[in-house]
């Protein structure tokens, strides 16, 4: 990497710039492979944060270099296809569980920039899946504010889930009461109850996302909506009892 950077510094040609972008990509890929596979808790370490942030910077730098070459008309057709690949790699790092402050800042910037309700709704669900519940709520709220007279019902479902995770149950239940029995406006479409059941099932499968208190709140919603079954899937991580009172 240092040699490639030196060559570019000495001769900032299109060829050397392209080689530099490739070097950043390869370095980012190597760092990404080093990130712990030990679940959500394994990712929440300072060492992994540093590696992930560094990998993210490499992917972003690679995309930036290639984009500048493309804008200047100095990038061949094959290399143009590399730009979305670099961006996708950066995206995969940004939305790892337990994002670092640096990655949270990028997510906050994304929430601020997006204006389309559907885009904000999709982002809110992504944030629910990685445990960034406060920004998930903000994204969903912003989506609803764009068209308050005709909100996307499925985004309201995301908002209800964000409030549940944040222990804002009065607000969550208010939405469940309001939209119970309504269609979500999805393809294929489903009722509020069916979608809530599916979302809760997905949340339970994500390791470490649903703690015991959240599980209690989810079951409260399931009872209210009439979607509680005898055998509710247990969260992916069970918390050992420390003894009863």
pLDDT at 214: 97
Which residues are CB-contacts of 156 (< 8 A; sequence separation ≥ 6)?
140, 144, 175, 178, 179
Residue 53 pLDDT level (bands cut at 50, 70, 90): very high
Token pair belonging to 33: 């492979």
Give the model confidence (pLDDT) of 119-132 as tens digits. 999 999 999 999 99
Average pLDDT in the 66-88 region?
89
Measured CA to CA, the distance from residue 115 to residue 193 in angstroms comes to 28
Residue 38 pLDDT > 50: no
8 Å CB contact between 196 and 221: yes
**DSSP per residue over 147-211, as a string?**
STTS--HHHHHHHHHHHHHTT-HHHHHHHHHHHTT-B---SS--BHHHHHHHHHHHHHHSTTT--
Q: Which pTM value belongs to this model?
A: 0.80
Give the model confidence (pLDDT) of 178-236 as tens digits. 999 999 988 788 999 999 999 999 999 998 999 999 999 999 999 999 998 755 556 66
């Amino acid at each position: 990497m240092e040699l490639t950077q030196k060559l570019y510094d000495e001769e900032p040609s299109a060829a050397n710039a392209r080689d530099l972008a490739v070097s950043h990509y390869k370095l980012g890929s190597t760092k990404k492979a080093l990130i712990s596979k030990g679940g959500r808790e394994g990712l929440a370490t300072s060492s992994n944060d540093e590696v992930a942030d560094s990998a993210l910077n490499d992917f972003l730098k690679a995309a930036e270099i290639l984009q500048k070459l493309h804008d200047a008309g100095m990038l061949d057709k094959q290399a143009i296809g590399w730009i979305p690949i670099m961006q996708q790699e950066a995206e995969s790092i940004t939305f790892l569980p337990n994002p670092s402050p640096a990655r949270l800042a990028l997510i906050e910037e994304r929430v601020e920039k997006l204006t389309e309700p559907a885009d904000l709704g999709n982002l809110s669900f992504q944030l629910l899946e990685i445990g960034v519940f406060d920004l998930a709520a903000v994204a969903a709220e912003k989506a609803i504010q764009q068209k308050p007279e005709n909100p996307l019902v499925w985004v309201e479902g995301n908002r209800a889930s964000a409030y549940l995770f944040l222990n804002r149950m009065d607000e969550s239940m208010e939405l469940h009461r309001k939209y119970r029995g309504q269609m979500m406006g999805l393809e294929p479409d489903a009722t509020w109850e069916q979608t809530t059941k599916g979302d809760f099932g997905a949340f339970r499968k994500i390791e470490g996302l649903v703690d015991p208190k959240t599980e209690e709140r989810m079951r409260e919603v399931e009872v209210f909506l009439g979607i509680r079954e005898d055998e509710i899937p247990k969260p992916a991580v069970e918390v050992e009892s420390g003894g009863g009172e």
